[in-house]
Amino acid sequence: MDHPAGGRALTSDAARLIPDGLDATLVLVRHGESTFIAEGRFQGQAETPLSPIGLRQAGLVADRLARPHDPPALPVPDGDPLELVHSPLERTTQTALAIEAAQRGAGRRVTRRPDAGFLEMHQGAWQGLHRTEIAERYGPQLAAWRRTPLEAWAPDGESLPEMQARVRPALATILGRLADGRPPGTHDRPQVAGYADPHPDHPWSIVVGHDGVFKVTLLTLFDLPLDRFWMWSMDLCAVSVLEVRAGRPVLRAHNLTAHLAGLADARAVAALDERASGGAL
């Protein structure tokens, strides 16, 4: 399949995607560790539940989003999120359910809905295979995918332009709901952070998805070519915050994981205990 150089012709015009004058915030949350991730397998759109660690990660990010203004505060508005949108795969649904329960436990109202537009990239013949097996059986294709993702992808899998084609309408729906019935914002206000400004006074929504689909989401919103796919990264249960100011996207925070620090420390202590009990150095 041939694509224009850099994918520019197939990359969305963000000015057409984002409603005119929109003031809103999107919070992007990657799912927790799945059983396939724990086993070192490529998953794509395979149905894999959260591992025990993944369930704990989901609980921690849910607690963080239930109290977003506890220090260090997240740059999100006051009030309840308008909606909680998630990929319908099991690992994202489990993460979204944890977030929904924590929101309601904190007295917040939230509407949860799945959207297949935020499914992870389909990885064709690679789904379910261990990464070492993929490297052995599909070495050249895997190397090409890592270097030139617009020219190579998993056999029988989904290309980046194909994924972007379903991400666009999913984003348009979320942004349209955030804009519905609200007056447009203006750029004639402070644009530089750090001046103790109040929390934004506009609606916000949460999206629970996957690393690959969030890479394409950010490229689409910032109108960047798809061959920049590898410029973004999202850790498990990491939080990114994207604010739209009068129709212009601004990345306020990216790949935040401080809420998982206690879990990481606990795993490190457990690993040290295991080594000590086994006599390993």
**Which CATH number belongs to the domain containing residue 54 in this structure?**
3.40.50.1240
The full DSSP string for 208-255 is EE-HHHHHHHHHHHTT--GGGGGG----TT-EEEEEEETTEEEEEEEE
Domains in the chain, number: 1
When pLDDT is cut at 50, 70 and 90, the band that residue 277 belongs to is: very low
Give domain status of residue 127, yes or no.
Answer: no
The whole domain housing 85 covers 5-120+158-278
Give domain status of residue 96, yes or no.
Answer: yes
| pLDDT tens profile 5-22 | 344 434 446 668 999 999
Number of H helices, E strands in the chain: 9, 6
- Structural tokens at position 131: 């990464």
The full DSSP string for 89-118 is SHHHHHHHHHHHHHHHHTT---EEEE-GGG
- Structural tokens at position 126: 């690679």
pLDDT of res. 102: 98
Q: Quick count: other Cβ atoms within 10 Å of Cβ 66?
A: 17
Give domain status of residue 18, yes or no.
Answer: yes
Q: Does the pLDDT at position 222 exceed 60?
A: yes
Give domain status of residue 188, yes or no.
Answer: yes
| pLDDT tens profile 232-264 | 999 999 999 999 999 999 999 999 999 999 887
**Model pTM score:** 0.89
Give domain status of residue 146, yes or no.
Answer: no
pLDDT of res. 201: 82
Pairing state of beta strands 24-30 and 83-86?
A: unpaired
Give domain status of residue 140, yes or no.
Answer: no
| pLDDT tens profile 126-176 | 999 999 999 999 999 999 999 999 999 999 999 999 999 999 999 999 999
Residues noted as catalytic:
31, 120
